[in-house]
A and B are shown apart, each in its own frame.
Chain A
Amino acid sequence: MFDLETILTAIAPEVLLAAAGLLGVTIGAFLGDRFNSLSFKFGALVLFAAAALAGYYWEGGRAFDGLVETSSYANFAKVVSFASGGIALLMAEGFLRRHETLRYEYSLLIIFAALGMGMILSSADFMTLYLGVETLSLSSYVLASFHRDSPRSAEAGLKYFVLGALASGLLLYGMSLVYGFSGSTSYEVVAEAETSMGLLFGMVLMITGLAFKVSAAPMHVWTPDVYEGSPSPVVAFFATAPKMASMVVFAIVMFTAFPQAMAFDNWQIIIALIAAASMIIGSFGALPQTNLKRLLGYSSIANMGYALVAVAAGVQYGAGSLLIFMTAYVIASLGLFGGVLSMRREGGMVENINELAGLVRRQPGLASALTLLLISVSGFPLAFGFLGKLAVIEAGIDAGLVPLIIVLILSSVIAMYYYLRIVKIMWFDEQAEDFEPVDGWVTTTVYVSALVSVALLIFVAPFSDLAATVAEGLLS
């Protein structure tokens, strides 16, 4: 039965995104290059509108005979993902214009990627999940190689595609096994099914596929290469919106499709191991890096490890913590990649961390903001990231995962070393040459995300209450 109201309550943002994406393609076909610049404002507007729609239909709903079900938990992630995607899109325009690759396809690809994110967050069935994952992934592959004239960008796209296709294959194979042993692709039915060896086998393969999407170890190998090779604004996007969406989807799939005691015991240990491996590899891997994007790539692996601690803690303890942690991470990452985009000299981008030398003398505001963001992403007190890490530790201890918390503590100290190294370069080292001025969106993003990171440390109460409430909704 076709009921518009039901569909809208469930997937209004996705309807908007799909319509806008198709409209954009049409406009582009007619206007051609004249649409290039406009398309970025159009895309950002659409993404912000989608975020607003997710907020408007906060309670969500169910549609298409249970293929789609949106909870307020998913809507929380949608708001953050769409909004951060919109900001990443705004930051991209100046960069692409300078590199003469300002094309409207970029914004459309981001819109379609956002559509994929919305679909996976709303999915209640493996079929929709897979379709969403592929929509997101295919857009991402193209975005990674958007600078098709640059060998690095092409290489990044190809690597991402080959490995991503493998991961999708594993995911699909896992789904088919789960389907085979439970008789359905619906989360609900799978959750009720008897836990058999075949089901667990399928579940493990699904975890493998999903772990690739969130770049958790040992499926992380693509991350540093793709981060280094892709155009910087694309990385700013990869590090924020899809990370938020994929991680929350990872949690939702685990929480709602495999809640049975026996399955839970199995996936908890697997995810705990993945989390530990990610934290260790992420923090040690970043130590020798001198390329800022690569370093942030490893840092994101470590941070996904922290997030997975919350997932491993299970729905009761970890669901709310995951949202707080991921939001803090996304806010800080947006600003940090704004910093990466600010590193422009003599017409080109520089990416070596030593280029930041003495930044505090040249641009004290930018240096202070970046310092605050590094503090936030490292989980040190003074910024919102601390509360994210606090929430994760809380979840881990509540669930009795003490060894995992010890790994988290040790890896945080190691990670602190390389964040401090950047602070050291900015504050202690002799001044390098000035950066060229960048466009307003980038600078604004850096400052605003730094300010928001500090403000949310102090005025976190409404936010954490909200996260707790939506997590509560997931329990019932």
Chain B
Amino acid sequence: MAADSDTTAGGGDGEIVTDVVIIGAGPVGLFAVFELGLVDVKCHLVDILGKVGGQCAELYPEKPIYDIPGLPIVSGQELTDRLMEQIKPFGATFHLGERIDGLARRADGRFDLTTDAGKKFNTRVVVIAAGGGSFTPKRPPLDGIEAFEGKSVFYSVRKMSEFMDKDVLIVGGGDSALDWTLNLQPIAKSVTLLHRRDEFRGAPHSVEKMRALVAEGKLRLLIGQVTALHGTDGWLEDAIVKTKDGEQKLSVNALMPFFGLTMKLGPIADWGLHLEENLIPVDTEKFETSEPGIFAVGDINTYPGKLKLILSGFHEAALMSQRVHKYVYPDKKLMFQYTTSSSNLQRKLGVK
């Protein structure tokens, strides 16, 4: 085994040295671990979500998928679980809740990657399996909201103490909205929870706690929607809220909207890759991008005849792996083998 293939944290500057970094831990990114593993290539996976499975786990964990070969019906979550079981022998390392922000080619042809959390990778190959892009909080289409973001409009909380003297307006009816309502209520000057209907998707015990606080007069609950924001220099002064009794002005200086997640291409757009309508063109032999050593598989890529199907991504991962093997082991000949008959592959899979 080439030294190259050893995944270590032994590089300078605490960087992680590896063969491959896969960006995106959706079904195709997960299956890429399998195909790369069969050719002795070690992987690290990075995903912005706090869990594996990508859209399958985030958007439709319960919904049945009918077009996975050999599985007449499988839910998004079950497919994810099965893929995790299938790739277990290859010991990939997961970096969840992180996004690759920076990519730069090194003088030696390898790549330096950095995550938004400051983690660094030194990798021979990059495999982009980012699906529809990275999941980011939905921005309510309120005029001028961008100007407030980071100063008085927040989609997540880094330091709760920042809300200490704030009049906070939280919008939404799911767990994020309820959790932050309950967490910030004891800290903030005041908390108002606004939701479009008097029913909540969040966990029942959170809903109960929230209602109890409302009954005690410690929390204001409004049923309605925000229609406008006012303030200066990014500092929110009030929000206009439409309820069934008409419009009212709420004096608030912090807003937290929780309208779920949407997929955005994100930093990938800044890496100098050739893009076509936010997709990455690849060849259909190796699924390599315009940059040698950077591959794209699954929904994020495009080529003549491309279909955004999970099964297409699986095929792409298999072919991509053949080329990646050449990058990682330039002097080794790759013999094509079947898992059904190859004792070598079966040993890797731990079945022999």
A and B from one complex = no
Contact surface of B with A, Cβ cutoff 8 Å? none
